A and B are shown apart, each in its own frame.
Chain A
């Protein structure tokens, strides 16, 4: 049973990580606290849902269609946030993105009603056996897809010029611009990429979770916990933080009294903050 529980924890952890990666990039590079992130996940879920219902597209394939839209939307939102002077950025961005979050969720409710929806794939109930652990195909595919995306994103950040520009901007925008990095455009693209990751996370979640217009708030707190746990701005930190949270939640909910479950996750969180205040892989230069 222990193996099954750990495997399950890792699977859900992959998805937690994917949600957190987009957030950590936005926060690490631009010091923008993006409260809209959860709603972007929600929009990703709805996009996957409608593309599946209307055109029979698999949610995983649908991400190709939705990615450019999220990129554009992210860049547009950045345009609103860009004029805020860096010193006030954290507080002001929090309030502005919170506002965008409310407007988005309420508009979603007007357009699509408050009904709960799920994407049911033809192979929704088929099961794969791994070391005696039964794993549903959608859960398995979603987790692998998340891992691949995080891996791909890591390579993008370390190997491409744009990725390196993003990291340079995160470390020191002024110096980066002296080296020929267009900080404005880089920041704008980063925000766009952050939202693309959120949208993709939504698509990946759609076959295994449910959606309604306010579902975003379910993810935001978890994602922020992971971001802080892993170290702000760190992609590998988000991955490790997500997996750690997934596994510790799974273990706690099996072996502990119910009232202890949430305490465990936050004890780990507190421990990390006390002994390593910048997070597990903190420090602005890391990826």
Chain B
């Protein structure tokens, strides 16, 4: 008898503590590569999320509740990420998922989030297909791969073609993962196909990101004697390509990356400055002329001692978008909370240091931020990446 009472009290206390605790925090789960080849990126997002969460919690959290981050290591493998996502949803009981770094991971996690009716906010995985599956629980705040090259295309036509006044030869090399295929399929390839009168795409090749030698590929490009070389690369392949481009003596009027590796400070030093003069077209690094952005960048440098780029601002803003949406979550049951959050995300219409964020359904996309004006062309000049196009968002004059 005594024992039953004891157990009863113990059990109810346990449940009470659990529910009390559950009401104390909003848990946000993130499947991130913390080990393996993508670990350097996992670390960037972890820093970005933590900074935003610390700020929000310091101001008392949302509706009196703090936000807690739960990271699970994907090793950048989609199959592992599926397990991570299931664990975060069912065992950690997170209210939402965020991030994932790579398109491959996000493509795998999206259906898990949808099936479990858990909102999943993407801030970096860019492959178009992810928001083209009709998943109403999957949201993306940044431009898709198809939008990455928009600023470059504009620049090539209005500046390079306008000056040269002849058909220009183009070589395009892209990494063969989900991201690279996305930029190629939704951005670069259709563009050059439509503009056959102005550009002649002579070389278009996918490559393996783990290859040790890109010289055969670069020699092939060199043989075509291109005016424009476009590259879609991650960091390590981008470094090797830049170094080996110099080695084989491949020359062109314009070298341009499409974000990702070519927008990271690391590529400059690690390629031995080989990317000086390269352009990079991709998600911009925020509303760089706004005072809020300047303050954020200063705070970041003070805290982490390096200059943030697209990953950092995307991660940071994603948490603020979730925080804004969490204001609409009133119930205490996790399943209801997730539904409320999804409804609330649908209504988001906010101005952030990354730009305007509003999730819309259009042209086959679901819950995709149109991200108009959120891509820009930047150029490596004396070791720093400056926005140079479109003109009204330029920090510096382009050199070409």
Contact = CB atoms under 8 A, between A and B. Distances in A.
Interface of A: 1, 4-5, 8-9, 12, 15, 105-106, 109, 113-118, 120, 124-125, 127, 134-136, 139, 208-210, 212-215, 218, 246, 249-251, 253-254, 258, 261-262
B211 to A, nearest CB: 8
A210 B205 contact: no
B215 interface: yes
Nearest to B236: A210
Interface stretch (B31-39, B115-123, B160-168): B31-39
11 contacts: A1-B219, A1-B223, A8-B213, A8-B216, A15-B212, A115-B40, A125-B246, A125-B247, A209-B240, A218-B210, A250-B216
Nearest 10 interchain pairs by C-beta: A114-B39, A136-B247, A120-B272, A12-B213, A250-B216, A254-B216, A8-B215, A118-B270, A114-B40, A253-B216
B35 A106 contact: yes
Nearest to B249: A134
Contacts of A246: 213
Interface in B183-220: 205-208, 210-213, 215-217, 219-220
A8 B42 contact: no
Contacts of B246: 125, 127, 136
Contacts of B25: none
B216 A118 contact: no
Interface string B234-274: 01100110011011110000000000000000100111101
A19 to B, nearest CB: 10
B219 A4 contact: yes
A258 B37 contact: no
A114 B36 CA distance: 8
A127 B217 contact: no
Contacts of A118: 239, 270-272
Contact of A214 (B39, B176, B220): B39
Nearest to A102: B35
A40 B164 CA distance: 52
A114 B43 contact: yes
Nearest to B176: A258
A171 to B, nearest CB: 34
Nearest to A117: B270
Contacts of B266: 115-116
A9 B266 CA distance: 28
Interface of B: 35-37, 39-40, 42-43, 176, 205-208, 210-213, 215-217, 219-220, 223, 235-236, 239-240, 243-244, 246-249, 266, 269-272, 274
B240 A210 contact: yes
Nearest to B40: A114
A213 B266 CA distance: 16
A118 to B, nearest CB: 5
A210 B239 contact: yes
B243 A109 contact: no
Nearest to A221: B210
Contact of B272 (A15, A125, A250): A125
A96 B275 CA distance: 42
A113 B220 contact: no
A117 B235 CA distance: 11
A127 B269 CA distance: 20
Centre residue among B207, B223, B266, B272 by max chain A CB count within 10 A:
B272
Contacts of A4: 215, 219, 248
Contacts of A262: 208
A250 B247 contact: no
Nearest to A125: B246
B39 A109 contact: yes
Contacts of B240: 209-210
Given A8-B219, A134-B248, A212-B236, 13 more contacts: A8-B216, A114-B42, A115-B266, A116-B270, A117-B270, A118-B272, A125-B243, A127-B246, A214-B36, A250-B213, A251-B216, A258-B205, A262-B208
A117 B40 CA distance: 11
A4 B247 CA distance: 12
Nearest to A114: B39
Contact of B247 (A5, A105, A116, A134): A134
Nearest to B36: A214
A202 to B, nearest CB: 13
Contact of A9 (B216, B270, B272): B216
A127 B210 CA distance: 24
Contacts of A9: 213, 216
Contacts of A208: 243
A208 B243 CA distance: 9
Contacts of A136: 243-244, 246-247
Nearest to B33: A114
Nearest to B215: A8
Contact of B206 (A214, A215, A258): A258
B34 to A, nearest CB: 8
B176 A12 contact: no
A127 B43 contact: no
Contacts of B248: 4, 134
Contacts of A106: 35
Contact of B219 (A5, A114, A261): A5
A209 B43 CA distance: 22
B241 to A, nearest CB: 12
A218 B208 CA distance: 12
Contact of B249 (A127, A249, A261): A127
Nearest to B246: A125
Contacts of B216: 5, 8-9, 249-251, 253-254
Nearest to A4: B219
A146 to B, nearest CB: 13
A262 B213 CA distance: 14
